[in-house]
Structure 1
Amino acid sequence: MTSKQNSTSIRLPMWDELPTLDLHLDQLLALTNQYLSPIIGSQITKTMMHNYFKANIIVPPIKKKYWRTQLAGAIVVGLLKNIFTLNEIKVGLRAILADNSPKVGYNHFVIMFNEQAAKAGTVPSALNSLDLESADTSTIMQYDAVQSILFWLAAKARLAEASTKKVKK
């Protein structure tokens, strides 16, 4: 994350902000990439999505129709794939969904991500929105994943800055 990025450019939508209409795969990808590209600097492809469906990481569509569940899953997996293996993501998502509905699990992740991204520090900071001391294991796991993503983004930005400084010399 560069110092030029601010909390408005690093914000994920809450569950109720996601479209409720049936989506086609191209629409699902466009929305996913609209949210993720400014954050991770890359895009999710059709092939990647098909792999997530085949591996049962994201619930497959029914009759080629996609909903909030697939969009939320694509957003979360799109962030996590940079740090964790697909099998680790699958295990983590199953643990979260064992304790919570997709809406609650996704919203917890987004609340933590948005809050921590807005602070954009180099040290994990306390959450204002959730009490980690009384949180269940899956919520703490989500917090750890959010911190991992943000540290990855910070390291990526520092590498880019170092590379730019080397080129200027």
Structure 2
Amino acid sequence: MPKTTTELQIKLPMWEELPTFSLHLDQLLDLTNGYLEPIIGDKITKTMLHNYFKAKILVPPVKKKYQRTQLAGAIVVGLLKNIFSLNEVKAGLMALLGSGSPKVGYNNFVIMFNEQAAKAGKELSDPTSLELKSASQATLMQYDAVQSILFWLSAKNRLNGLVNNDDKHDE
């Protein structure tokens, strides 16, 4: 029986684990989808990326060379686009980046995501890596977004399980 997303080890890479060299669009897509597809079951396309750059959701490349900033952004947008409108994703990213660097914002998101994903399917708890009572509004927004993604994944997996069970009963 195939494992569900919550049974798999869901883990996003930290900023320091992302490539330090320039990427071409195909490489950016391959890396982004390598991280996202096992989690969300879908791929980001060239058209989607171009739309994110055009709408200024992601920082456009310089001379068609993509860096960590674009890769990190594509990973985060790829997760968030399933539960938020692109305008909401853009506003959230602007709020986060307005209060710090892309590296800090991305790493905070990844730490929360990885920590909470490891607990998925178990009893809900506050993150151990931060104190929510004293957290900034931007950090609380990140935490809420991470929880939304994980709830969406859980609901998607449950729905797939129901559909698969119904298919078996129809045979």
Structure 2 matches for 1:3-14, cutoff 5 A?
Answer: 5-7=7-9, 10-14=10-14
Gaps of 5+ in 2: none
Amino acid at match of 2:4: T
Post-superposition shift, 1:145? 0.3
If the length of structure 1 is used for normalisation, what is the TM-score?
Answer: 0.95
Task: Give runs of ≥4 in structure 1 deviating > 2 Å.
Answer: 1-7, 121-124
Pairwise CA distance, 1:93: 0.3
Q: Residues 3 and 146 from structure 1, CA distance in 2 versus in 1: closer, same or farther, beyond 3 angstroms?
A: closer
Mapped partners of 2:5, 2:53: distance in 1:
36
Whether 1:69 and 2:76 are equivalent positions in the alignment is no
Q: Report whether the alignment pairs 1:94 with 2:88.
A: no
- Contact 1:2-1:154 within 8 A present in 2 as well: no
Q: Does the residue aligned with 1:75 lie in a helix, a strand or coil?
A: helix
Would the aligned equivalents of 2:5 and 2:153 in 1 still touch at CA under 8 Å?
no
In 1, Cα distance between equivalents of 2:113 and 2:5: 17
Report the counterpart of residue 104 of structure 1 in structure 2: 104
Distance 2:5 2:136 in 1: 33
Moved more, 157-166 or 128-137: 128-137
Q: Say how many residue pairs are matched.
A: 167
Q: CA deviation at 1:2?
A: 2.5
**C-alpha root-mean-square deviation of aligned residues, in Å?**
1.4
**TM-score in terms of structure 2 length:** 0.94
What residue is the counterpart of 1:2 in the other structure? 4
Q: Which runs of 5+ in 1 are unaligned?
A: none
Query: Structure 1 counterpart of 2:82, which letter?
Result: N
User: Which residue in the other structure is 1:142 paired with?
Assistant: 142
**Equivalent-residue separation in structure 1 for 2:61 and 2:102 (angstroms):** 15
